[in-house]
Chain A
């Protein structure tokens, strides 16, 4: 069997999280709303109405273009994409065709070791073929032998972003979506929830002998609703294509649909000829002009890109890739880490440990926004400082995290109020140790008889007596001395 490689391109549709739709004032997000409740004459295409462009859409799209290193065009145009479908009330979709909002662009995609057959990890350079603005269509469904149409989604702003066929494995495709989703949330321009259809993906897949540069006929996979589905669907399609070629047959340019429930690909239609959408300039809208001043204004608060920050965390703070990856998954968390680091003079890795082991769990379990936490970065830094200085022991420190978060009080205040300072005074600890030994003669006898594992139990008793404040190490030393 020859060695094959896959050639994969992804076409993504990204719903921007503007409050109103792209060409009218209707609410854009209808996730919880009944069908046909967020509609008006404009988004349902009544005769006589005209679209009016929502400039926030351009602002969000420009942020994405910048993040992808794409070149924003000073003037771009809207075009009509003409086709008939019940969910498209005007019979054409307002989109952009030959002069889109942005040109070029790329994403340097880190492929982790777990997704690398060689087990090493690498970076895949993925070029962007197209980035433009358009309006979403409605939804149809079949019920009681009738076709129902919901126009709520009509006019929700979309960015269509298409990659070049630069991806080579199903894992790379999945990684691309993971990074895109992270980026969209990082920029705050889309909820990017695939289940809700905020982020949708079609995959174009073909195969060729490894090392070849030809582009063979491809299939298009539609209806992919999650990152796992994308990976599964592409894997299955690559296998199918290899099998087809090995049988001496030709791969045909089909459109396939991913059946989520059965985990199989189904043929939707043969794609013998490209549909003719008869594109032409949308006469109802003016050209979209993005002046340098406007662009500067939009990009004034442009954040560091997540992958750039991830690399910087590794370079600047000497964090392992694993830590840097987790800490930069979400922009708020990465800011939190960095703000804590700024208030802390020790090893940043220590902050990373606290965050990943404890604070992140609090954030997730209690659905906290790092930027809004009462356990502020300076408080966390102070708390870690207290542990470092052995003012409190680590158990107390961890318990304090939640207390600071609940009360909003400074760690030192809580330590003083609760008398939580670690007892490291040797005489005091020795007294408690003696008390424990006196009260438990049976255990003492067992210990002396060789059951040394009881040491842990004795230390535990001392900690209990001191309400966890004793310096456990010191207690252990003293106990050893008294028991032997």
Chain B
């Protein structure tokens, strides 16, 4: 192990600015920008050449989004493909540990080491683990890769009116994804356009509810009784000990999420929020099942999308608006709801020189295929001009 890396406190964030360890990490390509999050330290360390491999956990996009922001490969495996034992739980039904690496091959190597059943995790799937490295070079001819209009726009919910409003992803990002589609087509894959993923828009609101209910419960154990912070102030009773210990120990994000989680799971609101969110989650899963159904209309092997709605944003730009921050995960979170795997890989740069992430989403246990497709893209673009670029922090080291 080379070292430990920073992250948002309890993984609650998309920019690393809510880390308990300040100053928070910056983006190696532009240190005025965030590295993404929550696994921002992991992505930044790999991008900056400090390590070959790092591990992250993806609850809504926490591997793929920082990987996209930092220009590295990040794989969120199928739920249960990698054991969660040892992972401090955030949203237990969504959490997926996975690799962050500089290439599909490195990510495949790490998957070979971490995937598989675990007697300590009942939800770790007892499904045969393929050799991810061996399948990298396989031909992608005949594969069906889909494009969905629902993944080229961000849907916002107006807080006042409850109306949806749409905003397309920036043209440069769209162009990068379309270019990757052309590359796949040139390699013999079939591109299927206009695949409907209509429930994508519910991803964030549903996540808001489910993840916070689970998070609030998961954080109960930090009560100052047996480990962690206990208040040193005098207390008169147990309740006060809990209140002070937790009040002092948790940062802003955990507190916000606990409050929200407690609220939406309360007996009188649960039906209205939590139970509804669970039903909407089923709808999101159905979008994927329909798209990947081998006997269905689309019969996709993978869905090709931008990883994020924007490239890395400047420090302090979004921080403080918990809702807006969450929309950074809109294109990644559906796979967490569905439990299906997704990978983000670098696909060029925007006009500001920030990396653009391209995402491939696949059906359950299709990690080998996602790595294979990523590898094929890497091989085809190996001579591209943008592959020559190095993060600014490395340029400083190399050329002083």
Contacts and interface: CB of A to CB of B under 8 A. Distances in A.
A31 to B, nearest CB: 23
Contact of B267 (A84, A278, A286): A278
Contact of A283 (B214, B220, B223): B214
If over half of A's interface residues share one DSSP class (helix, strand or loop), that class is named, otherwise mixed; here it is loop
A279 to B, nearest CB: 8
Interface string B248-270: 00000000000000100111001
Contact of A278 (B89, B91, B265): B265
Contacts of A47: 88-89, 221-222
Contacts of B226: 44-45, 89, 149
B267 A52 contact: no
Given A50-B121, A52-B120, A284-B92, A278 B217 contact: yes
Nearest to A51: B122
A371 interface: no
Contacts of A149: 225-226
A91 B85 contact: no
Interface string A273-288: 0001010110111100
Given A48-B87, A149-B225, A276-B266, A91 B217 contact: yes
A84 B220 contact: yes
A349 interface: no
A139 to B, nearest CB: 13
A80 B89 CA distance: 14
Given A50-B122, A280-B274, A286-B122, A90 B221 contact: yes
Interface in B41-83: none
A90 B220 contact: yes
If over half of B's interface residues share one DSSP class (helix, strand or loop), that class is named, otherwise mixed; here it is loop
A20 interface: no
B278 to A, nearest CB: 8
Interface residues of A, number: 28
B86 A278 contact: no
B225 A86 contact: yes
A92 interface: yes
B88 A52 contact: no
B381 interface: no
Given A84-B220, A149-B226, A283-B214, A278 B85 contact: no
B238 to A, nearest CB: 7
Interface in A306-327: none
Contacts of B144: none
B322 to A, nearest CB: 21
B242 interface: yes
Given A52-B119, A91-B223, A84 B242 contact: yes
Nearest to B88: A47
A92 B223 contact: no
B92 to A, nearest CB: 4
A46 interface: yes
A295 B219 CA distance: 37
A429 B349 CA distance: 121
A84 B84 CA distance: 25
A51 B214 CA distance: 15
Interface string A367-384: 000000000000000000
A49 interface: yes
Contact of B89 (A48, A82, A147, A281): A48
Given A47-B88, A278-B262, A53 B221 contact: no
Contacts of A49: 85-86, 120
B93 interface: yes
Nearest to B220: A91
A86 B217 CA distance: 15
Contacts of A51: 122
Chain B contact residues (Cβ within 8 angstroms of A): what range? 20 to 34
B116 to A, nearest CB: 15
B213 interface: yes
A280 B217 contact: yes
B258 to A, nearest CB: 11
Contacts of A285: 122-123
Contacts of B220: 82, 84, 90-92
B259 to A, nearest CB: 13
A368 B92 CA distance: 51
A404 to B, nearest CB: 51
Contacts of A276: 266-267
A284 B223 contact: no
A91 B238 CA distance: 14
B86 A48 contact: yes
**Most chain B CB atoms below 10 A, which of A46, A90, A147, A284:** A284
A50 B85 contact: yes
Contacts of B217: 80, 82, 91-92, 278, 280
B87 A283 contact: no
Contact of B225 (A89, A92, A284): A89
A308 B41 CA distance: 67
B88 A280 contact: no
A286 B123 contact: yes
A278 B271 CA distance: 11
Given A278-B262, A286-B123, A48 B88 contact: yes
Contacts of A90: 220-221
B354 to A, nearest CB: 34
Interface in A260-310: 276, 278, 280-281, 283-286
Interface string B262-286: 1001110010001000000000000
Interface string B80-121: 000011111101110000000000000000000000000111
Contacts of A284: 89, 92, 122-123
A91 B214 contact: no
Contacts of A50: 84-85, 120-123
A329 B338 CA distance: 54
B227 to A, nearest CB: 7
A52 B84 CA distance: 12
Nearest to B84: A50
B14 to A, nearest CB: 22
A208 B391 CA distance: 80
B238 A280 contact: no
Nearest to A274: B267
Given A44-B226, A46-B227, A52-B121, 5 more contacts: A47-B221, A50-B122, A52-B120, A91-B219, A278-B267
5 contacts: A46-B227, A52-B119, A53-B122, A278-B213, A280-B270
Q: Shortest 9 CB-CB distances between A and B: which pairs?
A: A91-B220, A283-B93, A283-B92, A278-B265, A47-B88, A276-B267, A48-B86, A86-B225, A45-B221
